[in-house]
Structure 1
Amino acid sequence: MSVKKIYLIRHGQTDFNVRGIVQGSGVDSDLNETGRRQAARFFAAYKHVPFDKVYTSTLRRTQQSVQGFLNLGLAHEKNAGLNEISWGIREGTRITAEEDEEYHHVLEQWTQGNTAISLTGGESPDDVAARQRAFIDLLLSRPEEETVLVCMHGRAMRVLLCQLLNYPLSFMDAFEHRNLCLYKLHYTGNMFTVRNFLDVNHLIEHG
């Protein structure tokens, strides 16, 4: 049978990334100049791939990261299941020394398997996983879309990779991410496998 190919990328850099400000699903930021350059390099490296569909979150930074492909007229679908985790009342703020204790406590709890807890007003990894399942079902219900490009967000990407690869969510920090990094996965009808892990070769300047 045919193999479904998923090109999974994180959005390009934003000024919030540079300044260490928490974005999450509630901050709809734009790419900065570096992020736009990253998007252009990814497009240059992968514009030859015959994508059947481009999926993004509902946030601008993911759509801007794949704009080159959208300009080709490729089918595009926004899906809120791909949105970043909500960091609650911390969104739009820099993690300060006083707040680090709670933030790092929550992250540590996640690695210990307590993935049902969240920062105040935010989502837990369990919450994110629950809303991603509808997207996964949608993806697998469309065999005619053999090659797809999915652009989303760092923490949410870690949760999604755990789900696709059958790892517990406590394992999610093993899936590192950088702005405009690529994870390429193949789906054979019963399981996903990773073909490219944290691939940033397309961002390297040659010359």
Structure 2
Amino acid sequence: MKQKTIYLIRHGETDYNRQGVVQGSGVDSDLNAMGQAQALAFYQAYQHIPFSKVYTSKLRRTRQSVQCFIEAGIPHESYEGLNEISWGAREGKMPNNFDNEYYSTLIKNWAAGHTDYPTEDGESPDQVAQRQKPVIDLLLSRADENPILICMHGRAIRILLSWLMDESLATMDMYEHSNLCLYKLQYDYDTRRFTIEVANDSTHLLALVMHH
């Protein structure tokens, strides 16, 4: 039975995350000190895994989150298809009450199955899934790369996991995520199915919580 093991992480904390500001794909922020500490803690916990390759989005915060692995010599590729959803007009803006209403309307629409409904001047979940699919197909075609590490973004991870699990994108909010959390997936080449072995795991960050 041929399998591929995929370690899927969300990037570490940025100042925008801390302030509750939406970044999307239009804001290319850096990890803050906490995010860098999270990246190092993840590396220390998982450096023993013999990753064949590291994949990231084109945004700096994902690359910075796996920088230790890249510096250790693991080959790295980045794809725009793995970028965060484009939140369009609201990227990089401090959320106000009007925005909160806008987001809750958006999330309600998506949860009701209207996943073709785009953000203002941005993307819909359906569009994100469409650009993710060719990248995932490419990764699965490289059966000899095993295991691999992918670093992505919160909303993009929710969308990805929904369709990988053959579920409607309307269910995506059940996939919780925090900064530098880990999802561990197994892909079975015979059944062509994914299973989630570990979900939203951040035990590797426990030491940080105790320091702060």
TM-score tier, shorter chain, comes to over 0.9
Residue identity opposite 2:19 in structure 1? R
- Name the residue aligned to 1:107: 107
Taking the aligned partners of 2:188 and 2:82, their CA distance within structure 1 comes to: 22
Root-mean-square deviation over aligned CA pairs: 1.1
Report Cα offsets for 1:56-110 as digits up to 9, x if no partner: 0000000000011001111100011100000000001022102222221011000
Matched, 1:72 2:67: no
Q: Number of residue pairs matched?
A: 207
Residue identity opposite 1:203 in structure 2? L
Q: CA deviation at 1:2?
A: 2.9
- Equivalences for 1:7-46 in 2 at 5 Å? 7-46=7-46
Residue identity opposite 1:161 in structure 2? L
- Equivalences for 1:128-207 in 2 at 5 Å? 128-189=128-189, 190-205=192-207
Taking the aligned partners of 1:163 and 1:124, their CA distance within structure 2 comes to: 14
Q: CA deviation at 1:136?
A: 1.2
Report Cα offsets for 1:28-79 as digits up to 9, x if no partner: 0000000000000000000000000100000000000001100111110001
171-180 or 96-105, which deviates more: 96-105
Gaps of 5+ in 1: none
- Name the residue aligned to 1:53: 53
Residue identity opposite 2:206 in structure 1? I
Report Cα offsets for 1:130-185 as digits up to 9, x if no partner: 00011111011110112100000000010111111111100000000000000000
Residue identity opposite 2:77 in structure 1? E
Taking the aligned partners of 1:2 and 1:69, their CA distance within structure 2 comes to: 25
Normalising by structure 1, we get a TM-score of: 0.98
Residue identity opposite 1:196 in structure 2? V
Taking the aligned partners of 2:103 and 2:174, their CA distance within structure 1 comes to: 18
Secondary structure of 2:177's partner?
coil
Secondary structure of 2:200's partner?
strand
Taking the aligned partners of 1:198 and 1:101, their CA distance within structure 2 comes to: 27
- Name the residue aligned to 1:123: 123
Q: Percent identity?
A: 54
Taking the aligned partners of 2:157 and 2:94, their CA distance within structure 1 comes to: 22
After superposing on structure 2, the runs of 4+ consecutive aligned residues of structure 1 that deviate more than 4 Å are: none
